[in-house]
Amino acid sequence: MVNWKIEENGFDEEKATGLGNKFLTGNGYMGIRGTLEEFKREQFPAINLSGIYDQVGNGWREPLNAPNGLFTRILAAGEEYALPEKECLSHKMTLDFRHGIFHRETAFQTVKGKVLLETQRFASMDEKHLICLKVKITPSFDGSLEVLTGIDGDVWDINGPHYDKVETGTEEEVICALGITHENKDEVVVCESFDAAFAAEEVTESAGRKIVRHLKLTVKAGEEYTFYKYISVYTSKDLQGYKEEAKALAVQAKSKGYESLYAKHCSKWEEVWNVSEVLIEGDDEAMESLNYSLYHLHSIAPRHSKSLSIAARGLSGQTYKGAVFWDTEMFMLDFFLFTEPEVAKTLLKYRIDTLEGAKKKAKGYGFNGAFYAWESQEGGFDACSDYNVTDVFTGRPMRTYFKDKQIHISAAVAYGIMRYVQFTGKDDLLKEGGAEVIIECAKFYYSLLVKRVNKDCYELWDVIGPDEYHERVNNNAYTNRMAKLTFDSAVNILENYTEQDSVLYKELYNKFKDAAEHLYIPSPDKETGVIEQFDGYEQLEEVTVSEVKSRLLHEKEYWGGAYGVASHTKVIKQADVVTMVNLFSGEYDKDTLYKNWAYYEPRTEHGSSLSACMYSMLACKCDMAEKAYPFFIKSAKADLVDGGKQWAGLIYIGGTHPAASGGAYMTAVEGFGGLHIENGTLKAESKLPDGWSKLSFKVYYLGELHQVTITKEEARVEKIN
């Protein structure tokens, strides 16, 4: 039996930040960290918003956290009972990850006697601007209690404060807080209506950035005192009249009532699970971890928008600048493409709509076409710094080249678009700008091609591949192959979607065809079968990962860069050649796939959450399900277990890992399930690991939903009528 709940018993302040990620709820518009209602900024609570950013001074530009409408504290005899400041008698948190319901239950010993505080909350899947919170207080004494509940505009920021000011106010029954951002004077408005099932003296108090209702109630031992808050969140970027909308939504929600909203929310979740749930018979742990991963993907899917992507740390906070990386196209896209193609389209439309930013970036470096942002924010602005790492020995910023040399990002975009075309069979995205994006990405790579005068091929020099520990290398196999894919795609576009007498066609067709044909793709070594990761990799020092690690003089020093402990060795950060041969596995025989897996795996640190799934998928393709399994579990549990990096020096870098979640999904369906397209037909193949007796899931292919059922004996793909 799979349990769709996770639970945490007891309170440990040290763990609270990590649990903020693990117990996240969200609906794509916003993510609510799994933190407690009484938390102040020091404990990193956040209602993290998608697609809106702010920069203060020289700090990193990062997404906004809305004023915190969940804020609630109870008082007895004038004293606040709140974690972590007070000790508690007991504490339990649960997350129903089938329906995105957060619940907590805490008992405090007050001076007057025991009080049990319970809350339940959800970010509505039905109404993306709405958060519903239910608070139940059960005292074990007769007497009086107080409650403070309202909106805390003094939000947690990593590089803030992002609100130059926060205005608070009351309009009729609704209290509001309006934050005005520093950079663009964007506005974030939070309104909340309140409904109590008990009588209480109520005063609204505002001070600084906070506005609260101050309730004083007379209580009886053993009775339950329940109230509800309907919290609406809008920004000035959402629509005109956002302030009125916010107020109206808070009022309207109250009139609908909590139970009704809860039911609608749950039924929306059931709708998504109806298509996306993955059943694994024989391995509850795997099924639970995998679906927990899918829960996270669902919680951050931008269903409220037609053009928005997903940040590398989802909606779990401001880490990684809330920026969109290649993670979306290369690791998350398949899940949406297979289960909710319209979300996949939304993700890709974001790239289409940020083409201008990509063109500007390319031009800035003297190239043609579109060079997509390594860390993309609105408009395709590249939030990536030229100095991404601090030298722990000198405290100086180190020049890094992620932004300017990790050129494989544009190919990831082209790959995503073509994958959408392949799986949907539709050309809507191409017509809506996707074709132009691919042509522009091809133009970009074309302008980067170099040819040694005495060689007959084109090369790509001075790049960084997926393995970021080796900077400024020539002919990274992955990058070159992805650039070729881009040229091939552009040729395809020109052949099939462009008039052959158009200027565009005439100008570009032969160039791209020539580039696709002559771009150098490192091939497997004749003796070893191994593909060299980049020119000269084979000459690097042969040394184990643990030996490299033992050379660290400081636990936080960067392994890469010009002089890092890994830089001049064969030790790599993450799957690189393995990513390439996995993506293009059809071009290599199984022996070659295996040889590259076997060669690179022991040389990989897996220092990125993007690494394990690629090794896992490739292991499946090499018929090594047992070797694949631990990597699969690692991906699927990326947000379930502690151990992800939470801090880089004094900077919080924790958060959820949606790329790992997407990777776990891909491993399940494309790895163990062997899902692939063969001559235009969707096929599956049984590559199940030992304990799995059956794997089944639904996927969309060419607009139609298919049931895929895999047992040890067979793999069936059937259209669902």
Catalytic residues: 468
Q: How far is CA 345 from the centre of its chain?
A: 16
End-to-end Cα, the chain, rounded Å: 29
Check: CB of residue 534 under 8 Å from CB of residue 467.
no
The residue within the footprint of a copy of itself, chosen from 141, 198, 461, 497 (CB under 8 A), is 461
CB closer to a copy of itself, 80 vs 459: 459
CB closer to a copy of itself, 30 vs 540: 540
Contact between 393 and a copy of itself per CB under 8 A: yes
The residue within the footprint of a copy of itself, chosen from 396, 431, 645, 716 (CB under 8 A), is 396
The residue within the footprint of a copy of itself, chosen from 452, 506, 683, 716 (CB under 8 A), is 452
The residue within the footprint of a copy of itself, chosen from 447, 646, 696, 711 (CB under 8 A), is 447
Ligand-binding annotation for 321, yes or no, is no
Contact between 206 and a copy of itself per CB under 8 A: no
Query: Contact region for a copy of itself (CB under 8 A) — 42-50, 51-59, 253-261, 393-401?
Result: 393-401
The residue within the footprint of a copy of itself, chosen from 95, 137, 287, 398 (CB under 8 A), is 398
CB closer to a copy of itself, 447 vs 711: 447
Ligand-binding annotation for 573, yes or no, is yes
CB closer to a copy of itself, 306 vs 452: 452
Closest CA to 696 of 708, 706, 704: 708
- DSSP secondary structure code for residue 332 in this structure: I
Query: What does the alpha-carbon distance between residue 186 and residue 629 come to, in Å, rounded to a whole number?
Result: 47
Contact between 651 and a copy of itself per CB under 8 A: no
Contact between 391 and a copy of itself per CB under 8 A: yes
Sign of the dihedral defined by the CA atoms of residues 347, 608, 593, 521, in that order: positive
Contact between 216 and a copy of itself per CB under 8 A: no
Contact between 503 and a copy of itself per CB under 8 A: no
Query: Contact region for a copy of itself (CB under 8 A) — 11-19, 322-330, 387-395, 672-680?
Result: 387-395
The residue within the footprint of a copy of itself, chosen from 52, 132, 449, 669 (CB under 8 A), is 449
CB closer to a copy of itself, 450 vs 504: 450
Q: How far is CA 455 from CA 110, 445, 449, 483, in A?
A: 81, 19, 13, 19
Contact between 513 and a copy of itself per CB under 8 A: no
Q: How far is CA 684 from CA 632, 687, 714, 721, in A?
A: 18, 9, 9, 19
Query: Contact region for a copy of itself (CB under 8 A) — 243-251, 338-346, 501-509, 556-564?
Result: 556-564
Check: CB of residue 597 under 8 Å from CB of residue 492.
no
Ligand-binding annotation for 326, yes or no, is yes
Contact between 446 and a copy of itself per CB under 8 A: yes
Ligand-binding annotation for 283, yes or no, is no
CB closer to a copy of itself, 569 vs 686: 569
Query: What does the alpha-carbon distance between residue 519 and residue 603 come to, in Å, rounded to a whole number?
Result: 27
Phi then psi for 2, rounded to 5 degrees? -90, 130
Place of tokens 């809106």: 52
B/e letters for 510-538, b = 16+ CB within 10 Å, e = fewer, are: ebbbebbebbbebebeeeebbbbbbbebe
Contact between 558 and a copy of itself per CB under 8 A: no
Query: What does the alpha-carbon distance between residue 647 and residue 412 come to, in Å, rounded to a whole number?
Result: 28
**Residues 240-299 interacting with a copy of itself (rule: CB under 8 A):** none
Q: How far is CA 64 from CA 235, 321, 323, 602, in A?
A: 10, 10, 12, 40
The residue within the footprint of a copy of itself, chosen from 368, 492, 646, 711 (CB under 8 A), is 368
Phi then psi for 302, rounded to 5 degrees? -80, 65
Check: CB of residue 61 under 8 Å from CB of residue 162.
no
**Residues 534-553 interacting with a copy of itself (rule: CB under 8 A):** 553
Contact between 394 and a copy of itself per CB under 8 A: yes
Paired sense of beta strands 210-219 and 201-207, if any: antiparallel
Contact between 490 and a copy of itself per CB under 8 A: no
Sign of the dihedral defined by the CA atoms of residues 340, 346, 349, 350, in that order: negative
Helix (H) or strand (E) holding 290: helix 284-300
How many residues in the shown chain lie near a copy of itself by CB under 8 A? 29
Output the six-digit token pair for 451. 């040819």
| Known binding-site positions for substrate | 326-327, 573-574
Give residues in contact with a copy of itself (CB under 8 A): 368, 391, 393-394, 396, 398-399, 446-454, 458-459, 461-462, 472, 511, 515, 553, 561-563, 567-568
